[in-house]
Structure 1
Amino acid sequence: MIRAITQAALLLSGLTATAAHAQSVEFTKGKFGGDKDALKDALRELRTGDDAYATDPANYGAALPHFLQAQRLNPDNAALNARIGDCYLHSGTKTLALSYLQRAQALAPADDSRTHYLLARALHLNAKWAEAIKEYQRATPMGGGKRAADGALTVTADDLVRRLRECRNGQELQQHPVRVFVDNAGPEINSSFSDYGPVVSADESTLLFTSRRPGGPNARKDPDGDSYYEDIYQTAWQGKHWRPAASLGAPVNTDGHDATVALAPDGQRLLVYADENGGDLNESNLKGAAWGKPLHLGNRVNTRYHESSASYSPDGRYLYFVSDKPEGGRGGRDIYKIELEGKGPAENLGAAINTPYGEEGVFMMPDGRTMYFSSEGHNSMGGYDIFKSTLTDGQWSAPENLGWPINTPDDDVFFVTSASGRHGYYSSDRPGGQGGKDIYRVTFLGPEKAPVLSEESQLLASRLAPVARTLLSPPVAVATARVTILKGTVTDDATHQPLEAVIDLVDNNLNQVIATFHSNATSGKYLVSLPSGTNYGIVVRQDGYLFHSENFDLPTEAAYAEVIKDMPLKKLEVGVVIVLNNIFFDTGKAILRPESTAELERLQKLLAEQPTLRLEMAGHTDNVGKPAANQDLSQRRAQAVVAYLTQHGVAAARLAAAGYGDTRPVALNATKAGRQLNRRTEFKVTGK
């Protein structure tokens, strides 16, 4: 109540005191030419606005439309323009504050610290760095470091130092803009309401986001604002554009706030923010075409504090998340990492990432090395800026500001990318949008090409007419993530019907399953992210079918690639042939390499589970070399597999070895890829 009285007194005294300044016009009969009704309307709007402005905390959103209406009736009152500027500084469109604060200063120049600070903030948010620095330097600390009882503006000496540093960072970053296109995602995604929090599948085929539009199943106004409750919407990429977004509906969207947090790289799991217990994270699983009811992630992640954003690791084993819990924190919000199936506590990522200020919007790329996040610290140009850090030998690199024009002086948060790293998505409130916050797509263009040079040759022409030869600079490669996206459909080999199957991702060097995924129950589609630097075995299995294996040996320097590989599963029947893509031999040798162990153990397990099963192990080569040598090598390789299995408990009578050399190719030997396919080990079911 004390604050309300004080604020009201300040407003009314400000509105009348401006009479002492020639340019500022007060709300009197003289201004309105005796029009009592107009004066009455203006004063009513002022009082209504003041009621909202003077609450504790101030309701700037409710006060602003009334102040704007009063300003339309009298645009030349300095105190009212200052109030409007203050309201805009606490809104989603902060940049609009500048014109009102400049007008207030022009109408009634003031030399108090509060006026300088508010004007500095408005200049800062409009990227007018030099002017903002001057105003910040004119301001002095206010409030003694604690918020006053009447809610007066509090600014510490540290605040001023920080703002000055942000402006100087902004000057430097704007002088060296990054080469990007920043495009509005379009009306298929954005609405006249606020749309934000985009999350995208690794292959950029699916995008989900949060919207305040009135289109959800339980659309109703948020009593704490002038918009609707948050709901989650989904769209899919179709050719050259996104399909019109549609609400996820129940059970993901409820009658409360439901917001996107993260999408697993395979698009099968969704993290949802729920406005409960201070703010918790829940997880929904995609079952066929429908998302399941979000389930609480548990108390190892969620606390009685605020968990606001998160991201899966590529293998789905770990979660990176943001919390403002004080235990183990460095100040404000911090980024943590936790093993989802483990028992240990969450690990703070440490001083390389977390600052004494706030961190937010964490996103781990499918390459498992590159992390994007937003921070108020490091070399931010104001509010939250988006940063990138890479993990090398267990250490995070110094965070790199993504730069201008991606980052702005205001908050830039919740940035995600496709697996390739060519495109990013985030929300921003920029001129020319659909309304409110919009989702934008960032296209990274890479470094600029060297200038085109011209060389004149006079060897074939006269001095008066030289022939110009244009030297084209080589194309500039855009840096992409070191990850391979493997996707396709799992089907029944005979009926071609889609199957929900288990997909194990195996590190062949470690002989260890490092991740497990599932193909979609309805479509059979799957997507797996394979960070470079590992020899992967991909094993697809389903009850009633023989396993299917693939191999991807990706060196550390392997750049982004997208591979479409359909996986037909065969039922266990006599005559069925299965290629063992993770059996390895050195060139020209028949000694099994250690990376073959995981595949051999799968074969051993199959024989143990099917005690009457009989197999023929077959070796094949390409046509390089003499046929006799190829036949001998293939026979010895088949026998090596049989020897391993018999040494591990499989009866020799159940196994046979056959070498076919180069007599049964499955591809042309004219190409390297074809020859690799022909060099294979496989088994045929001869009895069951």
Structure 2
Amino acid sequence: MKNLIYTLVLLTSVAGLLPAQQIYRYEFEIVNMQHGVNSAADDYSPMFSPAANRLFFNSFREEGSYGKADVYYAPFENGEFQEAQNAGRTFNRETNDGSMSLAKDGFTVAFAAAGRSEGLGDTDIYSAVYKYGTLESIQNLGEPVNTGNWESQPSLTGDGMVMYFASNRAGGQGGTDIWVTRNDGWGKWSKPENLGPGINTPDDEAAPNITSDGGTLYFSSEGLSGYGGMDIFMTKMTPEGWDQPTNLGKAINTEADELYFFAPDAGDFFFFASAREGGKGGLDIYRGTPNVFGRGMFTLVVNVVDSLSDSPLPSYVDVFDVRTGEMVTTFATNTKTRDYTELLPANTNYRVEVSFKDYPRKEQQVYNVTPNESRRVKFVYGSMKLADFDLGKYNIPFFVTGYYRPNVRAHLEELNERKRTDLRGANYIERVPEGSKKYERYESYAETVEQLFDEVVRKSIDEYLPQFIDESGGEVVEYTVTGYADPQPIVGRYVENDTVSFYDANGYAYSVKQGDEMTNLLLSGLRAHHSAEYLKSALAAQSSDPNSPYRRLVKDGRIKFNVIAGGVSDDRDDFAAQRRIRISITRKGRKTEF
């Protein structure tokens, strides 16, 4: 017995049309049913009945036949298909007896037969009742289902009320087409409708198989783009009608003819017929497992969006079958497409995982999906902290006592001069005479403060900002600078001319203008403001090239500075260490107006 293991990848287009889009993939075992089923003649049109536990099929074999093409069945016992037997005189006559379909009740049958005296055309469709291994109450369906042409290959929905079939009757798209007719509940079938140019082509379409729920149709086509000969396709019913047919891919389709796809809604196997190399002769019947087709299909809709603008984001999406752990589909999203739709087998639980940049991988469960439904999962990405520099851990003062410009050498050198001019009257600012021991200590602190600012600038320019340049989604880099004051009381008024605005940690807005009474909170806000200004100038100084990441992001409005008054810091034993700042760098979704 020849066993072939395939990873089945369904494609929306092949053979020179649009680039193939992967729909889903499973690893399938495809087996030629040589033992007991296939013969050197054509064996085709498999139909498995879970109620009867039999695989029915048609064969042109001579041994044991009543006519040219007969109906046979292979019992399924102890996990194996047994030797095929002719289905008997109630199924077969001296002419061709064709495909049959059995509704879910296990009794309602539709079948095709050629050359019978009561027939209207070359081949007609009949109804019957299946009981105890025989057919009873056989009736030609008559008009409008049958005509003087060829009607064959019927397939019933599970309730037996809708039937798809193939015909070369007038009014089609050309060749043989797929048609549908509906029972009114009183035994009368409606005038058949052609499934239209979305399914049918000027060439042949044949061998329809409708799932029990009526939502997914499998059929063979010579006119749709495929691998050669007749290929098997799948289409799902939507509110707008049948969607674009999907080729079942190279695990099932070959350069030869593949037809008569059948997938029961229960059972481990699906079946089809193929004339591929390696068979016993002509068309052979193949079985595949696992049977993910007969349960019907559902549409998974995936959104990956930004939390601020709700715009789509570029990401990678993987979908897993929860039971098996198998990845059944993977695809990439982009910034132009919002909805990504994937056609997947229903009645299966899935896990959807998304990777987006350096964010932690996210996942959502999709459980209890039913045939024909549409299930949407939405992944929302907001801010992500890239770095956090809590400079208090260095245990040095970042500011001269009472002062708010960061203690770098340039600010320290100008402090005494400013105390005599625009800072005159700011008695809350510590006096640090040049040449004093205190001045020397602050000089050594200033060197460390500059190094720490340089570290923030270097990592921004080398690591953080470049990753946003090729980011077409327009994400924003947000610098949040938080200032702190020690708990020592401050007495005096703000003396500078500039008005400075900032927020406290709760989001309340503050501003400091000349003459305002100073407080620890206002001092912490001033420290955050002047530290942010120093950081901006340092970033600009290290980004002199107009095409540098910092300059380009500033020009595009994609860098934002938040200034936060942290108030009194009391989490350090040393008052000097409480005079500090904190800098965090955060990715903040798409660009918005600030």
TM-score range for the pair, normalised by the shorter chain length: 0.3 to 0.5
Q: More strand per residue: 1 or 2?
A: 2
Q: More helix per residue: 1 or 2?
A: 1
Provide the TM-score with structure 1 as the length reference.
0.38
**Bigger radius of gyration among the two:** 2
